[in-house]
Structure 1
Amino acid sequence: MNNDTGYLLVVHGSRNSQYQIYLDTLANLTRQALEKKAIKSHLETAYLELSQQSLGQKITEFAHFCHEKGYKQIKILPLFLFSGTHVMEDIPEEGAIALKNTSKIGIDIKILPHLGSEDSVTDLLEQKYQKYPNHTRLLISHGTRLEKGKKEAQLLAQKTSAKLAFWSMNPCYDQTIIHLLESGTKNIAMLPYFLFPGKILKAIALRAEEIKNQYDNVNIQIIDPLGATPELADIIVENLLKQ
């Protein structure tokens, strides 16, 4: 089935070359998931930051390409997990720039709700936690200064029956781990709520191991982040097609 829509997946960006490998893998898995549904379209990825071209320039370039291919619209899916500044301000601003730049070609540009707003992502986290029964659940987020994003993090923790902690703000993850262990908790399943592995996750794992070694008979399991998986690709396709 031919589709009149081009798809652009937007991530924050990173200088780590492994990050691009993860993103390319996820993009390929998403293309395969579209093909399984017999949908012929065009999908690319873009960085919000740390790229030689701005996101507005990338969207403009992508819109012109899709227009030449006969597509009537492009859908932009921010692969962000909470309503932080990037989702609420930066991406819409870049989209507005691209919309102005492409006003003469008549292609529709639609920014979809960010990935983390979908219930299917919550279900995926629940599946990850269920591999560790009888463990106290700990959800670790990067953190955001926007109140809306904080409330989303709190709600996600409630839905998955997890304690909530942050990497960049209070309550900080390491102090939360210490508090749990001091309170008598012996088994912790810790899920870093990030898109891909990276330096932050390595730092979290190292600090968790340091804390663990200070206590007797405790177990701290570190669950993989969302990652470049077929399951996440299916969720992305679900979001692209339903809106």
Structure 2
Amino acid sequence: MSSAYLLVSHGSRDRRPEIAMQQLAGLVCNQLPENLNSLNSEHLVGVAALEMSPQPLHEQIQQFAKSAFGDDRKLPQNDQRLKIVPLFLLPGVHVMTDIPAEVALAQQAIGEDIIIELQPYLGSHPNLEKLLAKQIAATKAEAWILLAHGSRRAGSQETVEAMAASLGVVAAYWAGPPSLESRVKELVAAGYREIAILPYFLFAGGITDAIAASIEELKLQFSAVNFQLAQPLGASAELAELIWDLTDK
């Protein structure tokens, strides 16, 4: 069996997530089996964006498939598979509706010579919680807020709530209630004076900049509170291992 892997993110006008995606793809390349070492692995692990891209996702998938499985790649022609890994943290509309629809369009255009397999989304991996726990353990604080983006899809935030409960923190959402400010007010009212915020996002970008600005405003509003802002997940070998694990499920 010959497989290639396409990592799909939301997409952004900010260059930082795009750069981080390329770095992450390189780290996933390191997970490839030894029998693929002789091939140019950059053609076997690619990146695509659902939004903010000149091409719709289904066309990006087709283009990557051509690059990975074209005649010049010299890959085995039998049982060619393209595995799509959604790098999303919540099972929102993008994960449950938009990406499957784009994959179906790509499969229709490509035909049956290449089988496109949609893998589980990143946020479904049980070990993702361990990465967050490491960040929490590295910073001293009385209380933590796990700040996720949020989703309009009903029930999609249950995974965040469950993760927050398991980590012993409270959840808040950037794009919906309960908001960061409301959670901070609750914690301050409960007597906490050291509050840390963990952005449940893949990479630094426009939203994490906005979160940082919001925290500066909270510092003015609650001058007696010491606020700390952790980093988003970022491109790391540990994250690449989780992504690779999802391709085998």
Q: Which TM-score applies when normalising by structure 2?
A: 0.89
Whole-angstrom distance in 1 between the partners of 2:15 and 2:162: 33
Give the drift of 1:38: 2.5
Post-superposition CA distance 1:90-109 (Å, at most 9, x none): 000000001111115x2111
User: For residues 88-103 of structure 1, what are the structure 2 equivalents within 5 Å?
Assistant: 88-103=96-111
Aligned-pair identity in percent equals 36
SS in 2 for 1:169: coil
Q: Which TM-score applies when normalising by structure 1?
A: 0.91
Tell me if 1:83 matches 2:91.
yes
Whole-angstrom distance in 2 between the partners of 1:147 and 1:60: 31
User: For residues 122-201 of structure 1, what are the structure 2 equivalents within 5 Å?
Assistant: 122-201=129-208
Does the 8 Å contact 2:141/2:196 carry over to 1?
no
Post-superposition CA distance 1:215-235 (Å, at most 9, x none): 354221111111112221222
Q: Which runs of 5+ in 1 are unaligned?
A: none
* Structure 2 equivalent of residue 232 of structure 1: 239
User: For residues 5-44 of structure 1, what are the structure 2 equivalents within 5 Å?
Assistant: 5-34=3-32, 38=34, 40=36, 41=41, 42-44=44-46
The aligned amino acid for 2:101 is E
Give the drift of 1:134: 4.8
Give the drift of 1:133: 4.2
The aligned amino acid for 1:98 is A
* Structure 1 equivalent of residue 116 of structure 2: 109
Bigger Cα displacement from structure 2, 211-220 vs 194-203: 211-220
The aligned amino acid for 1:13 is G
**Which contiguous aligned blocks of 4+ residues in structure 1 show a shift greater than 6 angstroms?**
none
Whole-angstrom distance in 1 between the partners of 2:221 and 2:90: 33
Q: Which runs of 5+ in 2 are unaligned?
A: none
* Structure 2 equivalent of residue 57 of structure 1: 59
The aligned amino acid for 2:23 is T
Whole-angstrom distance in 2 between the partners of 1:23 and 1:135: 33
Whole-angstrom distance in 2 between the partners of 1:26 and 1:67: 22
In the alignment of these two chains, the number of paired residues is: 237
